[in-house]
Amino acid sequence: MTDEKALRLYVNRWGDTSDPAPGRPGSYREICSCFDQSKPHPRARVGFHTERQNTSAPGWQHLLELVDEAATDGREEFRPLIELSPEERRQVITLPPSIARLTAVKHLVLYGSNLVRIPPEVGAMTSLEEFTPYTSYRLHWFPYEITRCRKLTRSTVSTRALFGNYKVRPPFPRLQPPLGSVADLDMGNLDPRRWGATAMHSCSVCDRPLEQGGLQQVWISLRVATDVLPLLVSACSSACVAALPGGVRDYVPSPHKGGRVDQPATD
């Protein structure tokens, strides 16, 4: 006779988002080869992902609809990927700026995504308490604006995929020299190979329009919720860079420009 007390129910926490064969036909994820996520190569050369979001792709259009629905009904948990087909998931490499409307969302689940970047508008998700981009192996960094989510206390991130992580110490992409003016840049159509993003409008630190100042990008590693994340700061001035907090223990202790910066030794 079966002991009913011994029976255990295992719940799929992530929904139907498993991908048994990344990079192969039918998969919803590309293979990432930016750096070896299992062995230390601290002197390897890395860069930003250069893909641009195809805004005419069915997956992107479906995602926009899902964001609108979530903003309208005020849901507290947002799991957009389980609503997309495998083909649609592969077409989504970032999130739309409209996520700024998701001010009621407490848990954002992006498990197993094909994302290569998160937009700074994530900082407007002021109710966010838990962030789950686990097994998003092409997501190597986050915008500094995520620190504006003051209620964020829990995260599940695949840390081996992050620039500068303590397990394999991959390097950071080298950032561009400071600009005193952005008059010669189309801030809504940037080259992600150079700037990491395709659009920037406000200072990561003071939130002023970048058009009113210049552009200085730096890296900083900070504990955000459960994990230490590499954060890309796009600041309007050296004063805003100077206002950044110090880095965390066992990581580069101050803001830096990336490249062959000295990192603490791997354990």
- Dist CA 115 CA 139 (whole Å): 6
Instruction: Convert the pLDDT of each residue in 15-56 to its tens digit.
Output: 555 554 555 555 678 989 999 998 887 677 899 999 999 999
Contact between 192 and 202 (Cβ < 8 Å): no
Contact between 145 and 240 (Cβ < 8 Å): no
* Res 40: pLDDT: 82
- 168-180 burial string, b = 16+ CB within 10 Å, else e? bbbbbbebeeeee
* Res 39: pLDDT: 86
Instruction: Convert the pLDDT of each residue in 247-262 to its tens digit.
Output: 899 999 999 999 988 9
This prediction has a pTM of 0.90
Instruction: Convert the pLDDT of each residue in 107-134 to its tens digit.
Output: 999 999 999 999 999 999 999 999 999 9
Q: Which two tokens stand for residue 83?
A: 């609503």
- Dist CA 111 CA 184 (whole Å): 38
Residue 1: pLDDT band with limits 50, 70, 90: very low
Nearest to 106 by CA among 124, 131, 82: 131
- Dist CA 114 CA 111 (whole Å): 9
Instruction: Convert the pLDDT of each residue in 139-191 to its tens digit.
Output: 999 999 999 999 999 999 999 999 999 999 999 999 999 999 999 999 999 99
Nearest to 232 by CA among 107, 109, 146: 146
pLDDT at 11 over 60: no
Contact between 265 and 181 (Cβ < 8 Å): no
Map residue 215 onto helix, strand or coil.
strand
Share of the chain above pLDDT 90, in %: 81
Mean pLDDT of the 78-83 span: 97
Average pLDDT, the chain: 91
DSSP secondary structure of 253-267: SS-B--BS---PPP-
Instruction: Convert the pLDDT of each residue in 194-225 to its tens digit.
Output: 999 999 999 999 999 999 899 999 999 999 99
